């Protein structure tokens, strides 16, 4: 029955989801993991690769870093989570009020503000010693994605990685690699080209000039685009020429013709999708889930589950998952990979838009949905953007949201419930803002649960209203999108 | 361009990128915090500025301070137009 209470599957133990990941990665469901949730990993992978011109405005670096707290609800009580800043005690008590202990926090004792978490770990002898002990006891390091920095942490501590090395992870995360994999596997590609020189880029745009003139947009993506960056939508031939000129000017100035981008048709779509495969150490491939993905101009805004897919499309995704997983394994990759796909407005499924061979946003939702999402119910994972002038206490947020956010009972009778999945991002930018005497943006990450899509949309509206007591909540399009799909 | 013309031109560029009219063109309006310009749309804004205002911009040689507010962006545009002339 929708909205009926969900018994915590096993209080104080790992979720089935987490145990399956541990088994696939290490061969043992009881392996203790040390999570390092380096959400900025693409920045590291992008080094040494020439992509789109980058203004280099690190608008939300502290905020992105604090998303590492999302690991708290994925990991089990015997696991460890490396965090630059400890969890807010109020949030920790809230998260544990559902009866499940959180992982042990490991906080680097050193590290400059601008450094990544891995860099801070490397600068912290006490923590390095602790990680070495854990390595000797059989623990494994699971970064969100492995760059040279996380590999260095593993090597310095003798704490083995649960996934392949940085070179392998970087290689299989290039969008150029992904397009070639799709073509080699015989999957339906999004019409487009890989470009590795400025001349190839010019040719790809020329090939699309007529389509652009006719009003069909083109998207250019960096091979190593950081989430929300490294992507530009070209909606006219003038804009395409402008971008090409910028790229050519830079190439001339540097005397370097290299460029790593993909140029693709911007397909009219019904909706975006995201699914997760886990490739185990023996090459077995498991499709964990398929979710609807909410995006705005190519930027991730949330996930909705289950997606509106018929059995035929689900079967097609199942086949694509096996093909992508097998190809990744053949190329030396094991571990978790998230794959973005779209269902075109023409009803055709494009099963691979891009491959992110690392943990994804949706990866972190798996334990939460197992614990709180009743069968037959729907869920929306999203964040609310808050315009703040001073830090918010967890208690203030909790109080504004009311009983719908309770975790220690069966939940409201109407089956609507909210789980706060990351609180640290609310105040992550507060220190910088205080230094500049300005306001700042915070993000509250949540999972909304309701018996149906209409209920989700209504809950979303209620939550926005509740949070508007605390700040200006930036209007979002999720409610509109949910309602549209409900029709 | 005089100052009000520069600010108006910037307003049109922002409207094109953000896909909605920008009603408050006060010089202290912040591009990222108030208008929610994001890192994805910065490159697009640069291209629109090149198209509409006639600047030639090197995206990798920018100072973020120039892109904090409508006023600071107007300073940047005026300064570069003066250099061009």
pLDDT digits (tens, 9 = 90+) for B15-53: 998 888 998 999 999 898 788 887 678 888 988 998 889
Q: Which of B16, B28, B34, B59 to mutate to test the interface with A (most CBs of A within 10 A)?
A: B59
ipTM confidence score: 0.81
> For residues B34 and B71, which has the higher predicted lDDT (pLDDT)?
B71
Tokens of B19: 């896909």
Tokens of A88: 């807010």
| B63 shares contact with chain A (CB less than 8 Å) | no
- Mean pLDDT, residues A68-85: 97
Instruction: Quote the pTM value.
Output: 0.90
Identify the pLDDT of residue B63: 86
CATH architecture of B3-84: Orthogonal Bundle (1.10)
* CATH fold for domain A191-265: Dna Ligase; domain 1 (3.30.1490)
Tokens of A23: 């088994």
Identify the pLDDT of residue A457: 95
- φ and ψ of A444, to 5 deg: -110, 115
Nearest to A397 by CA among A162, A94, A183, A54: A94
CB–CB contact B43 A238 (8 Å): no
Weakest-pLDDT range from A172-181, A359-368, A402-411: A402-411
Identify the pLDDT of residue B38: 76
Nearest to A443 by CA among A288, A228, A291: A228
| B16 shares contact with chain A (CB less than 8 Å) | no
Identify the residue whose tokens are 């185990």. A280
Q: Answer whether residue A445 shows pLDDT above 80.
A: yes
Of A59, A233, A439, the CB nearest to B38: A59
Confidence of residue B10 (pLDDT cuts 50, 70, 90): very high
Weakest-pLDDT range from A46-55, A261-270, A294-303, A310-319: A294-303
Before A306, cis peptide (omega within 30)?
yes
Identify the pLDDT of residue A480: 44
- Mean pLDDT, residues A36-46: 93
CB–CB contact B59 A298 (8 Å): no
Q: Answer whether residue A6 shows pLDDT above 50.
A: no
Q: Give B-chain residues touching A56 at CB under 8 angstroms.
A: 60, 62, 64
CB–CB contact A59 B39 (8 Å): yes
Domain locations in chain A as residue ranges: 16-170, 191-265, 268-357, 377-486
CB–CB contact A440 B33 (8 Å): yes
* CATH fold for domain A268-357: D-amino Acid Aminotransferase; Chain A, domain 1 (3.30.470)
Q: Which of A57, A261, A386 to mutate to test the interface with B (most CBs of B within 10 A)?
A: A57
Other CB atoms closer than 10 Å to residue A40's CB: what's the count? 22
A261 vs A15, A43, A50, CA distance in Å? 39, 15, 8
What CATH code would you report for A377-486?
Answer: 3.30.70
Identify the pLDDT of residue B36: 81
- Mean pLDDT, residues A315-327: 98
- Mean pLDDT, residues A434-456: 89
pLDDT, one tens digit per residue, over A385-426 is 998 989 999 999 999 999 999 998 777 789 999 999 999 999
Identify the pLDDT of residue A9: 42
């Amino acid at each position: 029955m929708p909205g009926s209470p969900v018994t915590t599957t096993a209080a104080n133990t790992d979720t089935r989801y987490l145990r399956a990941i541990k088994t696939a990665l290490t061969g043992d469901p009881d392996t203790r993991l040390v999570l390092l949730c380096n959400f900025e990993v693409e920045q590291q992978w992008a080094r040494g690769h020439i992509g789109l011109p980058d203004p280099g405005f690190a608008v939300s670096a502290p905020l992105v870093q604090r998303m590492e707290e999302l690991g708290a609800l994925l990991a089990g009580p015997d696991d460890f989570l490396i965090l630059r800043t400890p969890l807010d005690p109020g949030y920790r008590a809230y998260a544990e009020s559902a009866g499940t202990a959180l992982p042990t926090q490991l906080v680097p004792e050193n590290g400059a503000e601008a450094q990544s978490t891995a860099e801070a770990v490397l600068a912290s002898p006490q923590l390095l010693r602790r990680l070495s002990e854990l390595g000797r006891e059989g623990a494994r390091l699971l970064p969100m994605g492995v760059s040279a920095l996380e590999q260095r942490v593993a090597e310095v501590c003798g704490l083995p990685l649960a996934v392949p090395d940085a070179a392998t992870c970087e290689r299989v995360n290039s969008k150029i690699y992904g397009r070639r994999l799709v073509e080699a596997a015989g999957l339906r590609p999004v019409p487009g080209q890989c470009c590795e020189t400025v001349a190839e880029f010019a040719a790809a745009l020329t090939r699309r000039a007529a389509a652009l003139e006719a009003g069909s947009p083109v998207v250019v993506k960096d091979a190593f685009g950081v989430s929300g960056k490294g992507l530009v939508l070209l909606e006219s031939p003038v804009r395409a020429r402008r971008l090409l000129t910028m790229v050519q000017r830079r190439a001339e100035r540097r005397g370097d013709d290299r460029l790593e981008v993909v140029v693709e048709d911007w397909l009219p779509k019904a909706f975006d999708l995201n699914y997760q495969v886990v490739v185990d150490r023996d090459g077995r491939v498991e499709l964990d889930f398929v979710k609807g993905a909410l995006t705005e101009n190519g930027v991730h805004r949330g996930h909705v589950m289950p997606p509106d897919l018929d059995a035929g499309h689900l079967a097609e995704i199942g086949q694509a998952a096996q093909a992508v997983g097998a190809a990744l394994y053949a190329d030396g990759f094991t571990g978790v990979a998230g794959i973005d796909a779209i269902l075109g407005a023409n009803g055709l499924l494009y099963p691979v838009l891009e491959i992110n061979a690392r943990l994804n946003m949706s990866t972190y939702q798996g334990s939460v949905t197992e614990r709180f999402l009743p069968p037959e119910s729907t869920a929306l994972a999203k964040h609310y953007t808050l315009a703040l002038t001073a830090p918010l206490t967890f208690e203030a947020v909790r109080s504004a949201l009311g009983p719908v956010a309770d975790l220690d009972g069966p939940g409201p009778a109407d089956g609507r419930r909210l789980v706060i999945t990351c609180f640290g991002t609310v105040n992550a930018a507060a220190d910088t803002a205080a230094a500049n005497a300005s306001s700042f943006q915070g993000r509250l990450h949540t999972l909304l649960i309701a018996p149906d899509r209409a209920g989700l949309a209504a809950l979303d509206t209620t939550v926005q209203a509740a949070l508007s007591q605390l700040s200006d909540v930036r209007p979002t399009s999720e409610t509109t999108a949910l309602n549209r799909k409900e029709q | 361009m005089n100052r009000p013309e520069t600010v108006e031109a910037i307003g049109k560029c922002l409207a094109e990128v953000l896909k909605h009219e920008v009603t408050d063109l006060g010089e202290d309006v912040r591009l990222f915090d108030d208008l929610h310009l994001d890192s994805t749309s910065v490159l697009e804004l640069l291209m629109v500025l090149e198209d509409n205002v006639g600047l030639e911009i090197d995206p990798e040689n920018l100072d973020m301070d120039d892109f904090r507010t409508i006023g600071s962006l107007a300073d940047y545009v005026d300064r570069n137009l003066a250099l061009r002339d």
